[in-house]
Amino acid sequence: MGLALVLALIVAPEDADQGISQRIFYIHVPIALTAYFCFGLGAVKALLLLWRGDERYDLESYVAIHQGTIFGALTLITGAIWAKASWGVWWTWSSNQLVLFLVLFLFYCAYFMLRYSLEDGPRRARSSAVYALFGVALIPVSFLAIRLAEDFIHPTVFTRDGPQMSGTMFATFVVSWGAVTLLAYVLYRVELAGKRLDADLRELREALQ
């Protein structure tokens, strides 16, 4: 993360069009891609739960979606700051890309409402898994909306001709993406370990009392 910060804030050259505000790109885009990945991972774990019936996938799916929601919130916040710097507004409802990402984020926020409205057990695990699988359909819609948008407000940097940036900028982006992915992985493992330990302790307490 330290290397990514040094590259993004000091080493990477300033963008000719956007100036210094383009440096938000190095944190905003990796966080958005990580949010998509976490939601996708949550759906894969949900599918495994429904397919194999192994209860451990329920907790893994939940933690992945929780991480996705955190990174989704960060995507919206850093995106709003970048929008203020580039467009002069914090938010615009006329841009489908922004609204679709907000819909995706709110959809997964509702996942927690559904999950905690049901009693702990196989029924809750299966209902949460089905909901997580429905949500995954929104990911390609949200992702492709940025590419298929007609208003061209949201910039498209990666085209079929390759990344539309200099080598240093691309290297900075790759390092930042790697750092954010690593951060997400560490947070995922730590939260999962904490949840499993919590469940084990609860079971042990019930056995002892």
Partner 1 sequence: MSWSQEELVAAAYGVVFVFVLVYVAIIATKLARLQRETAELVDLARARGSSDQAPDYAASVPAAREGEIGAS
Contacting positions for partner 1 (CB under 8 A): 5, 9, 19-21, 23-24, 27-28, 31, 70, 73-74, 77-78, 81-82, 84-85, 183, 187, 190-191, 194, 197-198, 201, 204-205, 208-209
Residue closer to partner 1 by CB (options 41, 184) is: 184
CA distance 195 to 63: 9
Non-local (6+) Cβ contacts of 35 within 8 A are: 68, 71, 72, 74, 75
For residue 168, the minimal CB distance to partner 1 (Å) is 18
**Residue closer to partner 1 (CB basis): 4 or 138:** 4
Give yes or no for a contact between 112 and 62, defined as CB atoms under 8 angstroms apart. Answer: no
Q: How far is the CB of 150 from partner 1 (least distance, A)?
A: 27
Nearer residue to partner 1 within complex by CB, 49 or 165:
165
Q: Provide the residue type at 26 as one letter.
A: Y
> Strand locations in the chain, DSSP E?
158-159, 162-163
Q: How far is the CB of 174 from partner 1 (least distance, A)?
A: 18
> CA 106, 108, 113 angle in degrees (round to 5)?
90
From the CB of 18, what's the least distance to partner 1, in Å?
9
Question: At its nearest, how many Å lie between partner 1 and the CB of residue 196?
Answer: 11
- For the bound state, the minimum distance from the C-beta of residue 36 to partner 1, rounded and expressed in Å, comes to 17
Helices (H) and strands (E) in the chain, counts: 7, 2
CA-nearest of 133, 126, 177 to 4 is 177
Nearer Cβ to partner 1 (5/99): 5
Q: Which residue number, 27 or 146, has a Cβ lying nearer to partner 1?
A: 27
Our CB check for partner 1 shows the closer of 26 and 131 to be: 26
Contacts of residue 15, Cβ cutoff 8 Å, sequence gap at least 6: 22, 169
Answer yes or no: are the C-beta atoms of 85 and 24 closer than 8 Å. yes
